[in-house]
Structure 1
Amino acid sequence: MAPLLEGPPPPPCPSKILMRESIRLSANLASPLKVRRGQGQGDDERERVLCCEVWGGKRYKYVGMGKGKGMAIGVAQAVPLHSSHNPFEDLITFIRSWVVPDGYPESVTSSYAPYMQWRALKYFFGGAMSVFTTRSLLHSVGIVGKGSASSAVAVNWVLKDGAGRIGKMLFARLGKKFDSDLKQLRFTSDLFMEFGAGIELATAAAPHLFLPFACAANVAKNIAAVTSTSTRSHIYRAFAQGENIGDVTAKGECISNIADLLGTGLSVYISKQNPSLLATFAVLSCGYIFCSYREVKSVVLNSLNNTRFAAAVESFLETGRVPSVKEGNMKENFFPWSQKQPVIIGARLIEAFQKPNDFLSVQPLFEKEKYIVTYNPLKGQAYALLREKSSSDDVMRAAFHAHLLLHVMQTSKKVEATRNPINYAKVDIFDSHTAYSTLSAADIQAEIADTCGRVSSLYSVFKNQAAQQGWRMSESLLNSGNARVLKIEEDEM
């Protein structure tokens, strides 16, 4: 099938120039002005409320400042709205971001709160009990005697476990990423597991640093544990063909325990031969990481996260065909050191737009949409700003539009470089800092206006093809940011 976007872009036609001027004029009338008189004629300083935004549970308004009748706004700042300046409320907001799911209480059922209250109390009593049980176990095997020495060793051991639990809490704040980027996090957690094992090995060389080394190792291992627990159900659900998720999970854990026992038996046998500790650890660690890579690679998920969605849209725009579920998963890259984000979904206005006038110019194009897309040539990234109450389909449509815009920008740059071989030799079209720095704001606005006319038909075809290929389109796992653009209220002008 031929590519959907084929050939070099046509030169600007009179209708496109007319559209550009219409956008500019409507931007100047988009919001009210507040005039501050300057000292000289024509130096009136004008203030315009660009938009309002909610981010991190707080509301902001973006205020632009400019001079003269042309109102070329050069500076914008985010001003907090209804700020209470109450440090206690800020502390509560910070704690909530760690201990409750995103979107709480709407994102969970009513039984979630009582369940977690009783679960927290259960773990409170269990944690208090652990000091005494650990002391008894150490005493029973003759490691320590009675009295204060026994208590000190037990406390050190419990502190080691406590440090690991802190690691769990730190990593648990990733929240929705456990749903959307579970492959990436699963492989990263296994790297943490091996890092922790290496630190434990180092305690033999520095026994006097047992407590800090053991604490650091436990933090790394508990990060791996919380990731494994949080992603396990999604992986087993991908294997279950019916209502047998519990059976699949139980049998999978049984196989894991059998393999773990066999590995333990082998290590006991090998240790009796007094091999080189470092060489043995290196071989086993390499085997662990390789198997982890193959394990994650074998998982086939029919949901569209950021990485799989990008691969599907890129294939669709280049070939006119959405890849199958298996093909899309094979294209997914989950190495933590090679993760790039060419498209940012749910970005803040201050991240997406270089100048306030850029926002005012494209805003009229998206009056009927639940999002706004733009392109930042300095960063080489496309951005999708989401409006309040945007649905899952709105987020997916915004992401598709942003990828379409990015594809158009990349294609136009390749064509331009090909036409001018001298520039082609000097400019790396994949370098986000240099590839698109020559584009003017008018060029970008014209491309955005062009994609607005094509996105509806292309997105409809993409959704139909994706559903036919087996992708689950009913819900989106695109891990968008939590910033939302709001309507300007009267009291916020």
Structure 2
Amino acid sequence: MEIMSFIRSYVVPEGFPDSVTPSYVPYMTWRALKHFFGGAMSVFTTRALLNSVGVSQSRATSGAVAINWILKDGAGRVGKMLFARQGKKFDYDLKQLRFSGDLMMELGAGIELATAAFPQLFLPLACMANVVKNVAAVTSTSTRTPIYKAYAKGENIGDVTAKGESVGNIADLLGTGMSILMSKRNPSLVASFAVLSCGYLLSSYQEVRSVVLNTLNTARFTVAVDSFIKTGHVPSLKEGNLEETIFNPPWRHQPVAIGSRFGEAFQEPASFVATRPLFEDERYIVTYNPAKDKVYALLKDQAKQDDILKAAFHAHVLLHFINASHANLKARKRMNSDQGSYHYVNPNPLNMDFLAHIEESCKIVTSSYGVFKRKAREQGWIMSDSLLNPGRARLCGVAPQ
């Protein structure tokens, strides 16, 4: 019993399990696995770096080798410093950036491994790898505290953080030890790295998915509003977090933009003139740009936090009507094709009747936004503050009546 108490004092917060939320255990399990695979990979990548610098500098002095190594580390620190200016973005999309950081960590490790194949390119490859890995390290460090804060009950965030880091270090050491034993058998460097990398990324993805946050960022807000529009039900904290999209490729089309500029949202002034009267009593304007197939929410300069939340809700309601119109158009085209009919179908009717969709969305939002907020609060979502990352553009001189 004394041994177990000694071990618990290093790996779980005092008062466990009552001192943390229920999702703490799965999060720490996946976190430990991730660090285990990470520690194991570090043995192979470090060996590759040492071998390549030794080969590439076979005729150089030890001082030249040391200079190369210092330059490699220096490049990484510069990359870390430059990336740190992203600041608030770490709060807006915490899970997405956390997983992207782990992807970058794997990319950096892969580049380090490549130095074994191209030892003559050690310095540029090692510098590049260190920049990528240090950017990933900034992401990991910046998102760590908010995650631990979500698990702490009361004023024990320091204890939760300390024990979480302890678990990570223990798993890292175990992975390093296992990898050292493996390396004595001279396994295939590429095959070993591929297996460990897959384990690392799978653990990372599950680690991030297990985090339960009660704030509404863009991804969780989209899940909550879509569920409310389709079923009238706002998902619980656990449901909303599980359905949240973790990986968003940069090239993925984003159908909604909050806090947009005038020129992005409106194709011509006539669209603004037609839309503006519908939002005389609001601190925002929502519209649809058919050319970009995107819904825009423009914020007036008096907009407060609740106005931003309402604008985002309204934008998703309008998007629902737009998507329904797209689906109806496709169904009509398919039906005409099946029947051999050649009747003219306007290829983009939204150019003509998007104003009707906006009018309809205004009616829905007036009657349902308050209901959405009430149900969201009942499920535990924080509605007084959101992390929707609105743009900085604001409409001036368009005050509500």
TM-score after normalising by structure 2: 0.78
Q: Secondary structure at the match of 2:286?
A: strand
CA distance change for structure 1 residues 319 and 488 in 2, over 3 Å: closer, same or farther? Answer: closer
- Alpha-carbon distance in 1 for matches of 2:393, 2:369: 24
Q: Which moved more, 1:330-339 or 1:258-267?
A: 330-339
Q: 2:294 aligns with which of 356, 376, 381?
A: 381
Q: Is 1:231 aligned to residue 143 of structure 2?
A: yes
1:334-377 superposed Cα distances (whole Å, 9 cap, x missing partner) = 12338542111111111111112111211122222111100112
1:254 matched to which residue of 2? Answer: 166
- Alpha-carbon distance in 2 for matches of 1:232, 1:173: 17
Q: 2:225 aligns with which of 313, 326, 338?
A: 313
Q: Which amino acid aligns with 1:348?
A: R
Pairwise mapping of residues 314-333 of structure 1 onto structure 2 (< 5 A)?
314-333=226-245
1:214 CA drift (Å): 0.5
- Alpha-carbon distance in 2 for matches of 1:407, 1:424: 26
1:151 CA drift (Å): 5.0
Q: Secondary structure at the match of 1:484?
A: coil
- Alpha-carbon distance in 1 for matches of 2:124, 2:167: 34
- Alpha-carbon distance in 2 for matches of 1:225, 1:439: 46
1:124 matched to which residue of 2? Answer: none
Q: Secondary structure at the match of 1:328?
A: helix
1:171 CA drift (Å): 3.0
1:107 matched to which residue of 2? Answer: none
Q: Secondary structure at the match of 1:474?
A: coil
Q: Secondary structure at the match of 1:336?
A: coil
Pairwise mapping of residues 270-309 of structure 1 onto structure 2 (< 5 A)?
270-309=182-221
1:478 matched to which residue of 2? Answer: 388
Q: Is 1:163 aligned to residue 56 of structure 2?
A: no
Q: Which amino acid aligns with 2:380?
A: G
Q: Secondary structure at the match of 1:453?
A: helix
CA distance change for structure 1 residues 424 and 462 in 2, over 3 Å: closer, same or farther? Answer: farther
Q: 1:462 aligns with which of 358, 362, 372?
A: 372
Pairwise mapping of residues 42-61 of structure 1 onto structure 2 (< 5 A)?
none
CA distance change for structure 1 residues 425 and 178 in 2, over 3 Å: closer, same or farther? Answer: farther
Q: Which amino acid aligns with 2:359?
A: A
Q: Which moved more, 1:149-158 or 1:181-190?
A: 149-158
Q: Secondary structure at the match of 1:382?
A: strand
Q: Is 1:408 aligned to residue 321 of structure 2?
A: yes
- Alpha-carbon distance in 2 for matches of 1:390, 1:423: 46
1:391 CA drift (Å): 1.4
CA distance change for structure 1 residues 275 and 310 in 2, over 3 Å: closer, same or farther? Answer: same
* Structure with greater proportional helix content: 2
Q: 1:371 aligns with which of 284, 294, 299?
A: 284
Q: Secondary structure at the match of 1:398?
A: helix
Q: Which runs of 4+ in 1 moved over 6 A?
A: none
- C-alpha contact (below 8 Å) 1:342/1:381 kept by paired residues: yes
TM-score after normalising by structure 1: 0.64
1:415-467 superposed Cα distances (whole Å, 9 cap, x missing partner) = 455466436879xxxxxxx99833234x1112212222331221100000000
Q: Which moved more, 1:346-355 or 1:330-339?
A: 330-339
CA distance change for structure 1 residues 386 and 424 in 2, over 3 Å: closer, same or farther? Answer: farther
- C-alpha contact (below 8 Å) 2:300/2:398 kept by paired residues: no
- C-alpha contact (below 8 Å) 1:302/1:470 kept by paired residues: yes
1:258 CA drift (Å): 0.4
Q: Is 1:440 aligned to residue 314 of structure 2?
A: no
- Alpha-carbon distance in 2 for matches of 1:417, 1:468: 38
- C-alpha contact (below 8 Å) 2:256/2:294 kept by paired residues: yes
- Alpha-carbon distance in 2 for matches of 1:409, 1:328: 24
Pairwise mapping of residues 48-447 of structure 1 onto structure 2 (< 5 A)?
149=61, 152-337=64-249, 339-418=252-331, 421-422=334-335, 437-441=348-352, 443-447=353-357
- C-alpha contact (below 8 Å) 1:164/1:220 kept by paired residues: yes
Flag structure 2 segments of 5+ consecutive residues without an equivalent: 1-49, 55-59, 340-344
- How many aligned positions are there? 337
Q: Secondary structure at the match of 2:295?
A: strand
2:397 matched to which residue of 1? Answer: 487
